Chains A and B, each alone.
Chain A
Amino acid sequence: AQSVSQHNHHVILSEAASLELGCNYSYGGTVNLFWYVQYPGQHLQLLLKYFSGDPLVKGIKGFEAEFIKSKFSFNLRKPSVQWSDTAEYFCAGGADYKLSFGAGTTVTVRA
């Protein structure tokens, strides 16, 4: 069965630190991969997506992710975080009708 796993449950950083969140998916074939962010009390918003083409994907708010097919990974990165990046981050992927979400990573940025 297809699944998506996220490596980190909770990450705590200081402002200006670099962020990398791990995401692995378990299926082959055509895959679509996404990173969503959920700010406290809000709904999920799409940060970036990968369908095909350039494996380095740039999203909103300075985030990027790299699709590495050989490692089944789609890690999210941001070179310098801000306090406003405090949120929960979800990796999601699908190769069928269903989109599977990872368990989420809570990111806390300390000022």
Chain B
Amino acid sequence: DSGVTQTPKHLITATGQRVTLRCSPRSGDLSVYWYQQSLDQGLQFLIQYYNGEERAKGNILERFSAQQFPDLHSELNLSSLELGDSALYFCASSVGYSVSQGVYNEQFFGPGTRLTVL
């Protein structure tokens, strides 16, 4: 158990809908990262928040957005869902915000949310 929690574990929805995935980081971690894992794209970094502010953006679609709240939990919002959005969405957390901080940037992964869009 990494200490990172994600809810829900599974989510099944229809095209065009909007869903919210939730992540609670490990106690003491200030950074939250979101990743998408699909069979054709592999593990793709989406976005990072540090202490409530966006720090880095990866391959995140405009239909997707995220935020980190004062209690440091984060939510990933996916809207106008398409079949191709079906994937495993992982959240990770770390103490620091930059690889240059070394050990403080070690990322711990949550169990993921499996999203199925029908």
Contacts and interface: CB of A to CB of B under 8 A. Distances in A.
B58 interface: yes
A22 interface: no
Interface string B46-86: 00100000011010000000000000000000000000000
Interface string B78-118: 00000000000010100001111011011111111000000
B99 A99 contact: yes
Interface residues of B, number: 27
Contacts of B42: 101-104
B102 A101 contact: no
Given A97-B97, A99-B33, A49 B106 contact: yes
Chain A, interface size category, equals 20 to 34
Contacts of B100: 30, 95-96
Contacts of B109: 36, 43-45
A31 interface: yes
B28 to A, nearest CB: 17
Central interface residue in A31, A101, A102, by most chain B CB within 10 Å: A101
A12 interface: no
Nearest to B96: A97
A46 B108 contact: yes
A32 B90 contact: no
A85 to B, nearest CB: 19
Given A46-B107, A99-B107, A101-B44, 5 more contacts: A30-B99, A30-B100, A43-B111, A97-B48, A102-B42
Interface of A: 30-32, 34, 36, 42-46, 49, 51-52, 90, 94-104
User: Which 3 interchain pairs have the tightest Cβ spacing?
Assistant: A97-B56, A94-B99, A44-B109
